[in-house]
Amino acid sequence: MTISFTVTKKNHACRARLGLLHTPHGTVETPVFMPVGTQATVKAMTPEEVRNAGGRLILSNTYHIYLRPGHELVKEAGGLHRFMHWDGPILTDSGGFQVFSLGPLRKVSEEGVTFRSHIDGSEHFFSPEKAMEVQMALGSDIAMAFDECAPYPCSPEYALGALERTSRWAERCLAVHRREDQGVFGIVQGGTFPDLREKSARELVGLNFPGYAIGGLSVGEPKNLMYEILDYTVPLLPEDKPRYLMGVGSPDCLIEGVARGIDMFDCVLPTRIARNGTVLTRRGKLVVRNAEYASDFAPLDPDCSCYTCRNYTRAYLRHLIKAGEILGIRLTTIHNLHFVLELMKEIREAIHEGEILEYRDRFLKEYKGV
């Protein structure tokens, strides 16, 4: 199998576990956070900087690359790894979440989704077959099945329809998938309804994917509801396959997700808030563009060992961001990626020591949400 997974350590007090995710571009320790490279670049970073920050596996967005520069061009360039100069593993999403997020710009049928480009308004059609075609052209290590992500909140009837369609589309994805060097993950839907999550998981697990994502979360529901859904959904998934919680990346959710048995995460949060002048610290977020930091000559986070914190002050970072200088965004992005990836490293160490719940409690005591 292209993608394989080894659980190397389990915790007894909760579902947290350590694992090794083997891919055609190398093995990755889990739990892992995937920095997001939407348009074939992790915004503002070179691949070397992503790696230095601790990034090992990145996510790229099928929808965006399909529209620009186009998957055929990337294929001609030798695939996404070569195109963007990243030699580690890449996971591509299916484009489903993006096209469903387009709202009035899209129309759904059993066949697939017709949508208009957010760039130029041109009309496009995505289907399970198309999502596989595009991802095969990109050559990511992990492709995601094309799913229907139900909004939050939604009725059980709507959630049922979406999960059943997701199952049918998952079969169609597998039927056309041809790359030996690419694994396809299924996506469990079912909204906030335990019986629907169970039905979705049962149907997808029956298709024997090498990994499973839990979709339809982090779409506006309260965090406690998300944790509750993880509590009853994770046990429905095979022990020996990686579990991926899509779109989650705030520090507290990462730790709570790991404690509930999640192995993989992705989120634009660390890079997006960085571009807005907000950074993550152990005490919570710090809006370095605020006036209070104008003559603060301390580093962003005195406990942090990243390039930014070793060499620059809050006052300088605030100046750069206020002046619209690219270096400001670069430096806050470096810090935030380092912060989240360092957190994941600590999480893995805590699991190794069998102390993830103690680690969580210590972390959350100091941390004031984002």
Of 243, 178, 233, give the one whose Cα is nearest residue 209: 243
- The span from the CA of 111 to the CA of 283, in Å, is 48
The yes or no reply on residue 316 touching its own copies (CB under 8 A) is yes
Identified binder of its own copies from the candidate list 6, 8, 26, 46, rule CB under 8 A: 46
Identify whether 252 is a catalytic site residue. no
- How far from 261 is each of 19, 101, 321, CA to CA, in Å? 11, 28, 38
Joined tokens for residue 312: 């620059």
The three-point CA angle 17-21-24 to 5° equals: 180
Answer whether 293's CB lies under 8 Å from 318's CB.
Answer: yes
Identified binder of its own copies from the candidate list 169, 209, 293, 312, rule CB under 8 A: 312
The yes or no reply on residue 202 touching its own copies (CB under 8 A) is no
| Strands (DSSP E) found in the chain | 4-10, 17-23, 26-30, 32-34, 58-60, 90-92, 106-108, 113-116, 123-126, 142-144, 183-188, 212-214, 243-245, 264-266, 278-281, 284-287
The yes or no reply on residue 207 touching its own copies (CB under 8 A) is no
The yes or no reply on residue 287 touching its own copies (CB under 8 A) is no
Based on CB atoms, which residue is closest to its own copies, 78 or 284? 78
Q: What is the CA radius of gyration of the chain?
A: 20
Identify whether 266 is a catalytic site residue. yes
Q: Restricting to residues 77-96, which ones interact with its own copies according to CB under 8 A? A: 77-78, 83-85
- The span from the CA of 200 to the CA of 193, in Å, is 11
Catalytic residue among 93, 141, 263, 301: 93
**Number of residues near its own copies (by CB under 8 A):** 34
The region that residue 126 occupies, defined by phi over 0 for left and psi between -120 and 50 for alpha, beta otherwise, is beta
Helix (H, G, I), strand (E, B) or coil at 51: helix
The yes or no reply on residue 303 touching its own copies (CB under 8 A) is no
Catalytic residue among 147, 263, 266, 301: 266
Identified binder of its own copies from the candidate list 4, 27, 39, 101, rule CB under 8 A: 39
The yes or no reply on residue 268 touching its own copies (CB under 8 A) is no
The yes or no reply on residue 175 touching its own copies (CB under 8 A) is no
Stretch that binds its own copies, among 7-15, 132-140, 236-244, 310-318 (CB under 8 A): 310-318
Stretch that binds its own copies, among 67-75, 147-155, 181-189, 210-218 (CB under 8 A): 67-75
Identified binder of its own copies from the candidate list 165, 330, 348, 360, rule CB under 8 A: 330
Based on CB atoms, which residue is closest to its own copies, 43 or 345? 43
- Residues classed as catalytic: 93, 266
Residues that bind its own copies (CB under 8 A): 39-41, 43-46, 68-69, 73, 76-78, 83-85, 294-295, 297, 311-313, 315-316, 318-320, 322-323, 325-327, 329-330
